[in-house]
Amino acid sequence: MTTLSVEAPATIANFGPGFDIFGVALDQPTDRITVRLRDDDAIRVYVQDNGWRVPSDVDANTAGVAAREFLKRIGADVGVDVYVEKGITPGVGLGSSGASAAGVVYALAKLLVDWLDYGLMIEAAGVGEAASAGVAHLDNVAASLLGGFVFIRSQRPVQVMRMDVPPIPLVICTPSLDLGKRKTQLTRSLLPKNLELKLVVEQMAYTASVIAAIENGSLEEIGRAINRDNISEPTRSKIIPGYSEIKRRVLEAGAYGCNICGGGPSVFAVCEEDLAEEIGLLMVEAFRRLGVESTLTITQASNAGVREA
C-alpha cells in the first residue's frame, strides 16, 4: 500500500476545567488527510482549505511538520505527498491544527510500520501542532488520535489516559472575531501566571468532577462539571463579546453547562439533545444582537479517533 486517506476529528480541549490536560473528540467536523509515498525523499503538502489561508509550506503546515517529525523518529528514508482537505475551521478552538497533525502521523504509521505506538504518534503530532500554535500542548492531538475523552497525565514522557464517552450532545457556536494570525499565542498570553491556593483547590475539585461524571455517564453531571474553570475561562472570556450574558442565558434555557472550546473563541454547551437547536439559536441570536455573526455546529462527543476514510 502506498496511499492512505484518513479522517481526523475536531476536538474540544480543556473541556471545562482541564486546562492543557483534557480533550474530547467530536463526531463532526473532521479533516481528511491523504498520504502518498513518493519515490524520492521530498515532503510536499497540498491544502484545500475553503479560503482559510492554511499554509502549504511544509515547515509552516502542522501536517507537514508532523510528517517530517514522525518519519525522522521511525528512521524512514522516504518522501511523501500530504493532501490536507480542511473541514475544521482553523483558529476557533476546535483543534484544527491538532487534527491535521494527528491524521498525518496515523496515516504514515499505517503505511510504514506494522505497529501503532500512540505515545510516539502523539509526540510527533504535538511537534506539528507546536509549529502552528507556537506552544506544545497535547490535549487536541491526543483526543483526535485516540477519540473519546483523554487526559494528559504527563507531557514528557507522554502519558495519556483515555476513557470512552457516553453520548454527549454538544452545541458549539463560533463567533466571527478577528483574533489575528497568532491567535493561540494571544489567548495563552491572557492566562494567569499564578493561582491563589483556594482557586487551585476548587480547580482540583472541578477536574475530578469531570472524570467522575464521564465515568458514571450522567449527562447532567458532565454538563455541571464542565461549567466551571478558574484558569482559562475568567480571562479568555473577556475577548468573547457578551460571554457571561450568553452563558447565563444558555443555562437558564436548560443547558447543563457552558464553557469555552480550547483557547476560544468558540463556545460550547452541553444539553439534552432535544434542546440543542434552541440553545444554539439562542447563542447565534445573542451574538447577532452584539453585532457579531457566528456559525453553529450541533454535534456530539465521539469515541472514534483518527480512522481510515
Residues at the interface with ligand HSE (CB under 6 A): 13-14, 19-20, 93, 95, 137, 139-140, 187-188, 232, 262-263
Query: Looking at beta carbons only, is 86 or 219 nearer to ligand HSE?
Result: 86
User: What's the closest the beta carbon of residue 78 comes to ligand HSE, in angstroms?
Assistant: 31
Query: Looking at beta carbons only, is 186 or 292 nearer to ligand HSE?
Result: 186
- If one counts every other C-beta atom within 10 angstroms of the C-beta of residue 289, the result is 12
Burial of 298 (0-12, 13-18, 19+ CB in 10 A): middle
Which amino acid is present at 49? D
User: What's the closest the beta carbon of residue 184 comes to ligand HSE, in angstroms?
Assistant: 6
Q: What secondary structure does DSSP assign to 137-204, as a single string?
A: --HHHHHHHH-SEEEEEETTTTEEEEE-----EEEEEEE-----TTHHHHHHHTS-S---HHHHHHHH
User: What's the closest the beta carbon of residue 73 comes to ligand HSE, in angstroms?
Assistant: 23
Query: Looking at beta carbons only, is 43 or 305 nearer to ligand HSE?
Result: 305
Closest residue to ligand HSE in the complex (CB):
262
User: What's the closest the beta carbon of residue 232 comes to ligand HSE, in angstroms?
Assistant: 5
* CA–CA distance, 147 with 304 (Å, rounded to integer): 5
- If one counts every other C-beta atom within 10 angstroms of the C-beta of residue 77, the result is 7
Query: Looking at beta carbons only, is 15 or 70 nearer to ligand HSE?
Result: 15
Query: Looking at beta carbons only, is 87 or 262 nearer to ligand HSE?
Result: 262
User: What's the closest the beta carbon of residue 143 comes to ligand HSE, in angstroms?
Assistant: 10
User: What's the closest the beta carbon of residue 231 comes to ligand HSE, in angstroms?
Assistant: 8
For the chain, the residue count is 309
Query: Looking at beta carbons only, is 34 or 184 nearer to ligand HSE?
Result: 184
Q: Are 268 and 172 in contact (CB under 8 A)?
A: yes
* CA–CA distance, 127 with 134 (Å, rounded to integer): 10
Which amino acid is present at 58? V
